[in-house]
C-alpha cells in the first residue's frame, strides 16, 4: 500500500474510533459508569450554549462587523424582554418580528 493510502486509512480509522468509542461506551457500560455530578450540572447548559453560539453572531454582526443600530439586535432585545415579562410562548415571536419589521 502506498504512503498516501496508509495515511488515509489511518485518518479513517482514527475518525471511526474517535466517534464510535465514546458513544458505545455509554451503551456497553450502562449504569456501571456514571458521570460526576458537577459534569452533569454543567451539561445542562450545553443546549443553551450551543444555541447562543449559533444565534448571537447572526444577531450582532452585520457584514462581519459589530453594528450597534442593528434591526436584528433590536428585535432580539424585544423578544427577550417579551419572554421575561410574559409566560405566553408566542409573545416573543410576535414582539421580535414586529420590532424587526418596524426597524427595517
Q: Are residues 44 and 7 part of one domain?
A: no
Mean pLDDT to the nearest integer, 88-101: 94
The dihedral of CA 58, 62, 63, 65: what is its sign? negative
The DSSP code for 86 is: -
Angstrom distance (rounded) from CA 67 to CA 78: 17
Q: Are residues 81 and 42 part of one domain?
A: yes
Three-state SS at 65: strand
Angstrom distance (rounded) from CA 22 to CA 69: 45
C-alpha cell at 33: 459508569
Confidence of residue 68 (pLDDT cuts 50, 70, 90): confident
Q: Which residues constitute the domain of residue 20?
A: 1-34
Q: Are residues 16 and 4 part of one domain?
A: yes
pLDDT digit string (tens) for 23-44?
888 788 877 777 889 988 999 9
Amino acid at each position: 500500500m502506498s504512503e498516501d493510502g496508509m495515511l488515509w486509512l489511518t485518518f479513517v480509522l482514527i475518525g471511526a474510533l474517535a466517534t464510535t468509542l465514546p458513544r458505545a461506551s455509554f451503551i456497553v457500560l450502562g449504569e456501571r459508569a456514571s458521570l460526576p455530578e458537577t459534569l452533569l450540572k454543567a451539561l445542562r447548559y450545553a443546549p443553551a450554549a450551543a444555541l447562543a453560539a449559533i444565534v448571537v453572531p447572526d444577531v450582532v454582526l452585520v457584514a462581519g462587523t459589530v453594528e450597534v443600530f442593528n434591526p436584528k439586535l433590536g428585535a432580539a432585545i424585544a423578544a427577550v424582554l417579551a419572554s421575561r415579562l410574559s409566560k405566553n410562548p408566542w409573545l416573543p415571536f410576535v414582539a421580535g418580528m414586529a420590532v424587526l419589521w418596524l426597524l427595517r
